[in-house]
């Protein structure tokens, strides 16, 4: 039996070719995101779908322009990082100091309209729990639990509680879902191999027809087209070996702390993890790529050791592992979409290669633009704080050195939140669905522990807009809300390009809009009066 050549993503082929045959054709896994995309594409190719698509595009374009102009308008008031609408103390100065404010970001409002309501509520609850309750209480222990002289960025002070407790929640949530997916995968594979049967395929081109004949006909058509343009198995295996050889030769040159034999081990282990992640995503639409990356951080960091650069080795191995595992899952979602839309797999494969090649050029250019235009990228409290970078680095340090002089009671709180994340997930799975859908998601709650709740407020406003829209007109909201949200996100994102160009050209915004308390404002006025 001939097989498929998987997509090379970031210099990696992530799936064995037989896996595609097993998951899409033999087991007919759902891959909900890929299936939903296929239904959307198929809907566009009907007369009614074409009319709706035209209206959706108009909505997207309208809100894209509005979002772009709003970003342009805000720019005039951002002479420094402490100025502008993103620093508007909309909930009061005391709340602003604890990062509770609406920063007028159309991007996060759009994201809130796309994300499920429970995700947005979970993020806001996490922000309230951490920055509204826990951090102020812990800050009152300054001088008792940790030294009062430590800066805010020290992991032995307040930052230690923020980072390590967030990591504990993320690891607890990730470990639970990892074990859950592993058990489901093993059980499902065992059941399928034991029975030798696959579930029926619930898709039919003819909406008015029912019965086994129509389903079998559709399935046969898709299967024939999907298997028509075949590539020999030895090209797939040879491609994976070739790319592994290139990585073994080049990655240690970029990161000397990571040895060639460690890259070899990563490439030997990755296909198994990629298969498990892709299979689990096919069942639940939940990709655990970050969990596998964290496992690589701890495993390779501890293997290398602190004295030999274990932090960098763990992070580099994490990048290698995540690129392999994530490509596998993304590839299966794409092939599921192609399978349902009768798209040519060979055309999809060539398109993916072109896109990957373009990404190799575009991605470094975008990074260079951000790096040169925004000098504070990656710094906490800046416009682009890159929170995952700080969290993953802290995980690498933790994996190599363990807890090195953590602040008092930090480890105890980490244990409590680690167990709490597992307990919440367990309860979510055990209670009835009508109850579990109202329970918060620990992973979403952990995100604002480090960043703050300001973006959660933006997302919550987005979810409130969508909720009200759904109550007023469910049909229109389901049809146009994704287009409106996409327009808000894309318009704000497009403004970053001219903003970067202006920054590179040393063009500064002319106005600083800043907010002061009444007492501080009186002192500023008095000081200015002495100068005149």
For residue 72, count other CB atoms closer than 10 A to its CB: 13
Burial of 332 (0-12, 13-18, 19+ CB in 10 A): buried
| CA–CA separation, 453 and 126 (whole Å) | 8
pLDDT in tens, 204-223: 344 333 444 445 566 777 77
* Lowest mean pLDDT across 327-331, 430-434, 494-498: 327-331
435-473 confidence digits (pLDDT tens): 888 899 888 898 888 888 888 899 999 999 999 999 999
Mean pLDDT (the chain, rounded): 81
Helix segments in 76-211, DSSP class H:
93-97, 106-114, 117-127, 135-139, 158-195
pLDDT score of 267: 92
- Which helix (H) or strand (E) is 42 found in, with range? helix 32-44
Q: Provide the phi-psi class of 164: left if phi over 0, else alpha when psi is between -120 and 50, else beta.
A: alpha
The residues near 530 (Cβ < 8 Å, ≥ 6 apart) are none
> What would the DSSP string read from start to end of 298-346?
HHHHHHH-GGGTHHHHHHHHHHHHHHHHHHHHHHHHHHHHHHHTT--HH
Q: What is the Cα–Cα distance from 334 to 41, expressed in whole angstroms? A: 12
Q: Which of 140-149, 179-188, 282-291, 490-499 has the lowest mean pLDDT?
A: 282-291
Count of beta carbons in the 10 Å neighbourhood of residue 409? 14
| Helix (H) / strand (E) containing 290 | helix 289-304
* Residue 278 burial (CB count, 10 A): 28
Taking the C-alpha atoms of residue 431 and residue 6, their distance in angstroms, rounded to an integer, is 40
Phi, psi of 441 (to 5 degrees): -100, 120
CA distance 164 to 187: 34
What residues form DSSP beta bridges with 140? none
Residue with the larger pLDDT of the pair 416 and 33: 416
State how far the Cα of 400 lies from the Cα of 521, in Å rounded to an integer. Answer: 48
Q: Are 282 and 52 in contact (CB under 8 A)?
A: no
Task: Please report the pLDDT score of residue 1 as a whole number.
Answer: 34
3-60 pLDDT tens trace? 333 333 333 433 444 566 667 776 677 787 778 778 767 777 777 777 887 888 888 8
The pLDDT value recorded for residue 312 is: 92
DSSP class of residue 129? I
SS3 label, residue 359: helix
Question: Which residue shows structure tokens 């680690």?
Answer: 418
| CA–CA dist 255, 277 (Å, integer) | 27
pLDDT above 60: residue 144: yes
Confirm if 84 and 74 have CB atoms less than 8 A apart: yes
Is-contact 479 471, C-beta < 8 A?
Answer: no
Q: Are 163 and 393 in contact (CB under 8 A)?
A: no
The percentage of residues in the chain with a pLDDT greater than 90, rounded to a whole number, is: 18
For the chain, what percent of residues have pLDDT higher than 70?
A: 87
Confidence of residue 403 (pLDDT cuts 50, 70, 90): low
H, E, C per residue of 222-234: HHHHHCCCCECHH
Convert 425-484 into a string of H (helix), E (strand) and C (coil).
HHHHHHCCHHHHCCCCCHHHHHHHHHHCCHHHHHHHHHHHHHHHHHHHCHHHHHHHHHHH
Q: Is the pLDDT of residue 98 over 80?
A: yes
86 close to 74: Cβ distance less than 8 angstroms: yes
Q: Report, in angstroms and rounded to the nearest whole number, the Rg of the chain calculated over CA atoms.
A: 26
pLDDT level of residue 367 (50, 70, 90 thresholds): confident
> Kind and range of the H or E element at 361?
helix 345-373
Query: How far is the C-alpha of 360 from the C-alpha of 349, rounded, in Å?
Result: 17
Nearest to 243 by CA among 4, 13, 6: 13
What is the distance between the alpha carbons of residues 397 and 105, in angstroms, rounded to a whole number? 33
Identify whether the C-beta of residue 10 lies closer than 8 Å to the C-beta of residue 352. Answer: no
How many Cα atoms occupy the beta-carbon half-sphere of 126 within 13 Å? 33
**In this predicted structure, what is the pLDDT of residue 465?**
94
90 vs 93, 104, 466, CA distance in Å? 8, 10, 22
Over 70: is that where the pLDDT of 522 sits?
Answer: yes
**Both tokens assigned to 511:** 């106005």
- Residue 358: DSSP 8-state: H
């Amino acid at each position: 039996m001939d097989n498929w050549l998987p997509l090379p993503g970031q210099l990696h082929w992530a799936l064995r070719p037989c896996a595609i045959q097993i998951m899409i054709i033999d087991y007919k896994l759902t891959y909900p995101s890929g299936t939903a995309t296929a239904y959307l594409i198929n809907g566009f190719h009907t007369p009614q779908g074409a009319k709706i698509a035209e209206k959706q595009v108009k909505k997207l374009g309208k809100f894209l322009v509005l979002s772009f102009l709003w970003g342009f308008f805000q720019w005039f008031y951002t002479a420094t990082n402490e100025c502008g609408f993103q620093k508007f103390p909309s909930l009061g100065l005391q709340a602003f100091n604890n990062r509770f404010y609406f920063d007028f970001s159309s991007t996060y409002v759009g994201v809130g309209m796309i994300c499920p309501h429970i995700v947005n509520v979970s993020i806001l609850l996490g922000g309230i729990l951490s920055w509204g309750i826990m951090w102020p209480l812990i800050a009152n222990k300054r001088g008792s639990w940790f030294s009062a002289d430590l800066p805010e960025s020290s992991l032995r002070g307040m930052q230690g509680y923020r980072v390590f407790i967030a990591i504990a929640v993320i690891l607890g949530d990730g470990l639970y879902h990892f074990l859950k997916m592993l058990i489901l995968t093993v059980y499902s594979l065992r059941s399928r191999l034991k029975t030798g049967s696959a579930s029926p395929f619930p898709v039919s081109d003819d909406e008015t027809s029912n019965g086994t004949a129509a389903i079998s006909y559709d399935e046969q058509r898709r299967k024939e087209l999907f298997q028509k343009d075949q590539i020999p198995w030895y090209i797939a295996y040879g491609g994976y070996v070739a790319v592994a050889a290139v990585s073994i030769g080049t990655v240690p040159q970029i990161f000397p702390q990571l040895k060639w034999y460690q890259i070899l081990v990563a490439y030997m282990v990755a296909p198994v993890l990629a298969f498990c992640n892709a299979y689990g995503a096919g069942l639940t639409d939940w990709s655990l790529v970050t969990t596998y990356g964290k496992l690589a951080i701890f495993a390779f960091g501890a293997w290398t050791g602190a004295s030999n650069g274990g932090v960098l080795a763990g992070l580099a191995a994490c990048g290698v592992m995540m690129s392999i595992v994530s490509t596998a899952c993304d590839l299966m979602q794409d092939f599921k979409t192609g399978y349902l839309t009768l798209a040519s797999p060979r055309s999809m494969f060539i398109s993916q290669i072109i896109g990957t090649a373009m990404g190799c050029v575009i991605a470094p250019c975008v990074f260079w633009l951000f790096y040169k235009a925004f000098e504070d990228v990656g710094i906490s409290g800046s416009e682009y704080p890159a929170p995952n970078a700080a969290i993953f680095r802290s995980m690498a340090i933790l994996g190599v050195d363990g807890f090195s002089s953590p602040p008092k009671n930090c480890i105890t709180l980490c244990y409590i939140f680690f167990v709490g994340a597992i307990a919440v997930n367990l309860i979510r799975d055990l209670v009835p669905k009508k109850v579990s859908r109202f329970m918060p998601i620990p992973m979403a709650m952990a995100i604002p522990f480090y960043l703050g709740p300001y973006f959660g407020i933006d997302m919550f406003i987005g979810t409130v807009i969508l909720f009200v829209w759904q109550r007023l007109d469910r049909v229109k909201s389901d049809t146009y809300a994704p287009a409106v949200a996409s327009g808000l996100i894309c318009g704000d994102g497009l403004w970053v390009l001219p903003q970067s160009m202006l920054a590179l050209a040393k063009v500064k915004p002319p106005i600083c809009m800043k907010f002061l308390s009444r007492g501080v404002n009186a002192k500023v006025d008095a000081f200015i009066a002495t100068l005149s």
